[in-house]
Structure 1
């Protein structure tokens, strides 16, 4: 390599041979010549030429002079600006990037990338002139594009220090620096660790270097915390376009930053949950559009999903686990759509698994301040993102699981839902859904104790009675749009009764009810006031059994009749002759329930007469995601039939041998059973 240095104007005291070569070699390589042919040169006494065997041998002082000259030339006034040396300096760093091409299309003129040792010298030189880089955006971007992850430890340390110096001295570049680092959260290609003439660096080590760099910057620069939060939000991948590996890797790396940036814990957890809910809703909408239930089961992974290639950070294989071009060629558009949907479900499943893994150590630590803080944050996320979203199906199981870690948390979660469902703003957005969430939590939570069940059931009954007395005098017939809150509370009580009737039977010493003892002592003694409350509500002009979801009404009627709690079969027969649409235009909506009127489309997604009835929306119904469902073992109460009562379509005693899960799934999907649609 040849380096040109301007000699002093004073003539040398001794004769000195100098060489001056044509500068055309800077734009294109010279043609190959035979070994016997000597290099033709021109001589110039003003130029001192030193022949170097390797770029590494270039002295640091010389590199500093080059950098100084390049920056000074670039920073001169427009009339005197000289960017020749500046562009050559940029090319040094462009040559060290994973790709030789730059954003403006320029390509490095070097036949070989500079060595790590030479790059260190350029970094040292730039570090000494960081304040000059404010107006050198293209050069800074070239430096930030350098492949630093795959070089030796000394270079990495120097590079990270340079990033810190740059971010501190020129705050305008801090976000760009963080974006470059966070951009690797999606993928760290194993090829970055295979730089020629450099020791191989495995992927895991490169990922660790990313986090070490962030840790250093956050410790050095006070404003880096907020900038990193913005960068994570801005760089968060689109679940429709990102690969499964890349999406999961980004979430995993984002969660890892909490270890050294606890100040960002709430923001990072919230960001991930917010994006997760969007995926959850999208998946549910897609599943609702599937014509075949078998397709839904295939999409949700009951036929099996490969997890072997999800952990991109743990492997040095760059093959994309999501690509299978050979099979895509032969797929129909419908099959490709189903495959893409299955891939989205896999992302949803894996991110939920990561979140369960993320929160579990905190709850297991026993540090009550941290545990309480984590639980309150889960409730906040639930209230902000999940509760107002009617179609969420899986994200809510995070709070479902951790609320059952103690009775105090179960009471706290149930209390939040109860206040939303029965408070003064009970007709506002989210509150009607809160009644469904509360009913589903009480019904399905395996670790919810009898005391809480009875307390919630009693308080719901009291509120239902209050609403009945407020509405009944002016009521001319059942009307979902006018009395939505009343029907939501009534349906919640019916659903809880179907699952928890054993817990609302009073026994001596408050002992658990055994199925074989139900009729031994004669008429069961029910929780005080409940039977009267439900009877008055059901036989009122509000007629909740006509408006509540037919599947739940049918099940409640059968159980209540069998247990001698209430006999409603004649009322159900009468209701078949009622048309809810005839009551709709009788009067303007009641002022107190205007919110319910505005949310009628949320309360019911049916058409025709069923549009005037509530959906059977109970959000803690069966959880089917294959990878993350392991976290819910022991949390979930499956449907348990009533002793001595058989379903209408049971023809054989042998049917009772069906496994419990099938019974549970059947009740969980009861709202979609066409047998129970309104006539």
Structure 2
């Protein structure tokens, strides 16, 4: 109480409180006195009482360390770590103060000032060091820190600088013992933020200047784009996404996450991969509008192709073939595995053949099972057709490379494609015509088609394909690892990404540039739908609702080329490049068939 304190001591205390008030401008002498007070308080933390020293504690916990000199910052953080250890008193306030400083001062135009950028690395290092010290000292600290970070996470409409700084500092905690304690929740929060930004980038943002082009267009990727500083896909797309706030935030965060993953040692990277697989399975796998967030898995796998890259492919394949998995997850997983094996340059041909064999064997088992049952409508077999389509899609990209290895070629030619494609379910008539046409073209050139298509029947098959263009039985899918369109983070994906323009097909001449293969195809004008409406998928809903949800997952349009175009094209249809949103009405069929 004031009346119990000597007037001189009270005056000195009030002067100390005033010195610790960071709202006041300080000269050099004041700064030196500030450091002295902080060091003295560090030696007397057990004497500090919230009842008598409320103003003092308020000034301490309100400090923005970004404005402090380095010596002052070190002294303050030492005081904070000691205060946190005082039993049951200041732990939450200390942790909250440190988390509040994850974000530097944001000034004009929502940008971090230059002086703060130059100090960021040092400040983040000290903040993470203090939090680790507190967690080692106070057993309750990690759990409380998780709650504080959860409440302090940036929101969708926060500015880009705040998001990037917060996540960058937060991921600095994801190392060693601290990572073992709270690493999973930190990564989950980051992926949630990436996904939220991702789904708020509408397809209209991407397609606003391209909706009048063909549904399937070649990827006009300039492989030398990095030389002129572009390296960002097609110019029209760059313009569309360049001014999109969510895309710019997502782009910056992807850089931060990729840098974090790249900095990890092998042991820590393996732990992160296990955590990311769990997060992917629980959230990203079922997000039907995700366009870029899933590339975190792609980049992680590229850091260790043998262990992580192959592990992710097996992980996806197991979801596809596991009967206990829900239909939505299985359909999404087959889309992922097909797109992943096609686009990941770091995946070996041996791994591709191994996964293809698992998928083909599952399809054959499905056919055997269906042969014992009465015929059912096509929508009942969506997973089967999706798996067949994924197999053909992968072979469109990888058949030529597989043919270069005699043992793998032999394994491929021994797969029961003949039984599969001659089955009464007729997958060649239901899968996307552009994929089937390209697959047949390459398979015939490689001699693989002779294994399952009689020469006399080839014309009949192609005629049937032509008649299914635009039919109600067309199968649509999405390809999660389509070309990456975010400019700044593109440098992490591009070196390991297989663009269609880079693929050597079985019919291509190595001496030619195949310029004709890179020409756009004209197509009837289409209306581009938006996937803005959020769709909640309830596995326990009735069959019609489930079928509707499956249609909403598809981001491939239901429009198709005209019959005459298919007949006139010597080279067949071009492979899908940028997949467009579905605009078709929900099917009247229910996806209720039992699958093996």
TM-score range, shorter chain: 0.5 to 0.7
Secondary structure at 2:49's aligned position in 1?
helix
Secondary structure at 1:169's aligned position in 2?
coil
Q: Provide, for residues 521-560 of structure 1, a one-character-per-residue CA deviation record: whole Å limited to 9, x for no partner.
A: xxx99521333133224xx1x3334443343234334444
Q: Which moved more, 1:433-442 or 1:337-346?
A: 337-346
For residues 290 and 166 of structure 1, what CA distance do their matches in structure 2 show? 55
For residues 134 and 543 of structure 1, what CA distance do their matches in structure 2 show? 79
- Alpha-carbon distance change, 114 to 654 in structure 1, aligned in 2, over 3 angstroms: closer
Q: Provide, for residues 128-179 of structure 1, a one-character-per-residue CA deviation record: whole Å limited to 9, x for no partner.
A: 5656316976763343114555445665455334433433335353223222
Partner of 1:555: 438
Is it true that 1:265 corresponds to 2:163 in the alignment?
no
Conserved in 2, the CA contact under 8 Å of 1:283 and 1:344?
A: yes
Partner of 2:463: 570
CA RMSD in angstroms, aligned pairs only: 4.6
Conserved in 2, the CA contact under 8 Å of 1:427 and 1:485?
A: no
Conserved in 2, the CA contact under 8 Å of 1:453 and 1:503?
A: no
Partner of 1:420: 319
For residues 633 and 653 of structure 1, what CA distance do their matches in structure 2 show? 21
Partner of 2:337: 438
Q: Which has the higher contact order (CA 8 A, sep 6+)?
A: 2
Conserved in 1, the CA contact under 8 Å of 2:45 and 2:82?
A: no
Is it true that 1:630 corresponds to 2:485 in the alignment?
no
Conserved in 2, the CA contact under 8 Å of 1:443 and 1:495?
A: yes
Secondary structure at 1:535's aligned position in 2?
helix
For residues 156 and 242 of structure 2, what CA distance do their matches in structure 1 show? 11
Is it true that 1:345 corresponds to 2:228 in the alignment?
no
1:184 is displaced (CA, Å) by 1.9
For residues 577 and 161 of structure 1, what CA distance do their matches in structure 2 show? 69
Q: Which moved more, 1:449-458 or 1:376-385?
A: 376-385
Matches within 5 A, 1:203-242: 206-241=123-158
For residues 121 and 107 of structure 2, what CA distance do their matches in structure 1 show? 9
User: How many pairs are equivalent?
Assistant: 483
For residues 470 and 214 of structure 1, what CA distance do their matches in structure 2 show? 58
The TM-score, its normalising length taken from structure 1, stands at: 0.60
> Quick one: which of 605, 620, 626 aligns to 2:481?
620
Matches within 5 A, 1:296-445: 342-362=244-264, 365=265, 367=266, 369-404=267-302, 405-445=304-344
Partner of 1:528: 414
- Alpha-carbon distance change, 352 to 293 in structure 1, aligned in 2, over 3 angstroms: farther
1:411 is displaced (CA, Å) by 2.7
Partner of 1:180: 97
Partner of 1:313: none
For residues 66 and 340 of structure 1, what CA distance do their matches in structure 2 show? 57
Conserved in 1, the CA contact under 8 Å of 2:434 and 2:576?
A: no
Partner of 1:252: 168
List alignment gaps of at least 5 residues for structure 2: 109-117, 214-218, 230-238, 521-570, 586-596
1:419 is displaced (CA, Å) by 0.8
Secondary structure at 1:667's aligned position in 2?
coil
Is it true that 1:667 corresponds to 2:572 in the alignment?
no
Conserved in 1, the CA contact under 8 Å of 2:316 and 2:334?
A: yes
For residues 158 and 654 of structure 1, what CA distance do their matches in structure 2 show? 66
Partner of 1:281: 199
For residues 242 and 18 of structure 2, what CA distance do their matches in structure 1 show? 37
Conserved in 1, the CA contact under 8 Å of 2:205 and 2:240?
A: no
Q: Provide, for residues 173-217 of structure 1, a one-character-per-residue CA deviation record: whole Å limited to 9, x for no partner.
A: 3223222221121214699xxxxxxxxx96665555434433443
> Quick one: which of 367, 384, 407 aligns to 1:510?
407
Conserved in 2, the CA contact under 8 Å of 1:461 and 1:533?
A: no
1:374 is displaced (CA, Å) by 3.2
1:233 is displaced (CA, Å) by 1.9
Conserved in 1, the CA contact under 8 Å of 2:438 and 2:575?
A: no
For residues 469 and 248 of structure 2, what CA distance do their matches in structure 1 show? 43
- Alpha-carbon distance change, 122 to 419 in structure 1, aligned in 2, over 3 angstroms: closer
For residues 423 and 673 of structure 1, what CA distance do their matches in structure 2 show? 28
List alignment gaps of at least 5 residues for structure 1: 9-47, 49-57, 68-88, 101-107, 192-200, 308-336, 513-523, 581-612, 647-651
1:259 is displaced (CA, Å) by 4.5
For residues 426 and 412 of structure 1, what CA distance do their matches in structure 2 show? 19
- Alpha-carbon distance change, 445 to 121 in structure 1, aligned in 2, over 3 angstroms: closer
- Alpha-carbon distance change, 548 to 173 in structure 1, aligned in 2, over 3 angstroms: farther
Conserved in 2, the CA contact under 8 Å of 1:440 and 1:618?
A: yes
Q: Provide, for residues 47-101 of structure 1, a one-character-per-residue CA deviation record: whole Å limited to 9, x for no partner.
A: x8xxxxxxxxx7xxx14x876xxxxxxxxxxxxxxxxxxxxx6x9757854557x
> Quick one: which of 491, 498, 523 aligns to 2:396?
498
For residues 326 and 334 of structure 2, what CA distance do their matches in structure 1 show? 11
For residues 415 and 84 of structure 2, what CA distance do their matches in structure 1 show? 68
- Alpha-carbon distance change, 483 to 361 in structure 1, aligned in 2, over 3 angstroms: same
- Alpha-carbon distance change, 292 to 134 in structure 1, aligned in 2, over 3 angstroms: farther
Secondary structure at 1:240's aligned position in 2?
coil
1:666 is displaced (CA, Å) by 6.5
1:237 is displaced (CA, Å) by 0.9
- Alpha-carbon distance change, 230 to 137 in structure 1, aligned in 2, over 3 angstroms: farther
